[in-house]
Amino acid sequence: MAATSITSIIAAGSLGPEAPLVAIGGGVASGFADLFSLSADETHIITIAGMSAGLVAFVGEPISGSLFACEVLHRYGLEYYEAVLPSMVAGLACNFAVRSISGEPQEPIWSFAPEEALAPWTTALGLVFGTIGGLFGLAWIQTTIFIKTKLVVPSGLVKRHILKGLIGGTIIGGIGMLMPETLFWAELEVQTIIDGGETPLPHVWPDVGVLGVPMPVKNGAFLILLSIAKMFAISITVLSGYRGGFIFPFIFSGHTLGTGLALLIPALSPTAAALSCAAAINASVTRTWLSSPLIVCFLSGQLQCMPMVLVASITALFVIGDPAIIKGAQSRAESPGMLHRGVSKESIDPRMQSKVVSA
């Protein structure tokens, strides 16, 4: 996974390095559990803690990063509550080590223009942004599944990895030539959208694309189109066999969507709209209703938006319903940790059984 992820990152694919970091962290932790002959329950908790450390190393925020690793294992929020404290400890230790070695301060990575304080009633706008973000997330899942079942599988590309990667890379490159903002996993490209193009794209040169003119990132309709293009690029990256994480690519799509809506409707707060849509799309696909708002609010330093963003995240989770794209996400009752205790799948309440739609 690490090798294919590095290839995807170098080639400007729309997935980040968080997935291999989580896998490496969990694998190392599991290895230590085997070394010290820990029980199955202890191994499970230690593995989750290792996953948290790997994710925190990338996200750079110990609370939201640790909770994300706990939540992403399930479909409606974290269920291994006993793993939260060890995960937090591992995340804090990793964050301290990474910050100490790199010398990077603990500060937001995105900078928004000052705005007036949000009125209490604006929390209800989270319902609107959550619905929009949830529908975008649902559309992404269904589109990805459609492309796989109607195009990739019938054409015999599933096991033809080199050809599949070549075709996918060509499509991703074509989209990037028209819209350079869609390239890479977009953690830093978000700032270009926030300040209306004042910050140059950090990883692309020239940053004007094949058309030779700057993209109209102050145009609301264009930003919504850019959000859709980015989500399509994410689908192609996944279906081409490249490996990586969804977090920042979906956050970028949400930022562009929310900023576009705020430009079209000036009464909206650009900051709150961007963060709410970012959390909603990410939560709807990754099923992380709690950690997604924490990630976008902490990394932007905009904690005053938390009520609206949290409402948007929860709303998106309900809007999307059962469809899921992460095959490993399941309820605690279905996990091997329960089955090894002698609980059979047949004895599980059907309402607790996940109906995961694999992409």
Per-residue model confidence (pLDDT) at position 248? 93
Contacts of 210-217 with CB under 8 Å at 24 or more apart are 210/177, 210/178, 211/178, 215/179, 215/180, 215/181, 217/181, 217/192, 217/193
Say what angle helices 18-35 and 2-10 make with each other, to 10 degrees.
160
Query: In the 8-state DSSP scheme, what is residue 148?
Result: I
Per-residue model confidence (pLDDT) at position 2? 64
Per-residue model confidence (pLDDT) at position 51? 94
Phi, psi of 245 (to 5 degrees): -110, 160
Per-residue model confidence (pLDDT) at position 341? 39
Strand partners, 245: 16
Per-residue model confidence (pLDDT) at position 340? 38
Give CA–CA dist 74/70, Å, rounded: 8
Tokens for 121, please give them.
Answer: 């009633």
Per-residue model confidence (pLDDT) at position 347? 39
> Who's near 162: CB < 8 A, 6+ residues apart?
none
Low-confidence ranges of the chain (pLDDT < 50): 336-359
Q: Which tens digits make up the pLDDT trace of 29-73?
A: 999 999 998 898 899 899 999 999 999 998 999 999 999 999 988
Per-residue model confidence (pLDDT) at position 297? 96
CATH number of 121-320, picked from 1.10.3080.10, 3.60.15.10, 3.40.50.620, 1.10.1760.20:
1.10.3080.10
Per-residue model confidence (pLDDT) at position 154? 94
Tokens for 240, please give them.
Answer: 């081409």
The per-residue DSSP string of 54-71 comes to HHHHHH--HHHHHHHHHH
Secondary structure (3-state) at 171: helix
Domain ranges for the chain: 1-107, 121-320
* Total-model pTM: 0.88
Which uninterrupted H or E stretch holds 179?
Answer: none
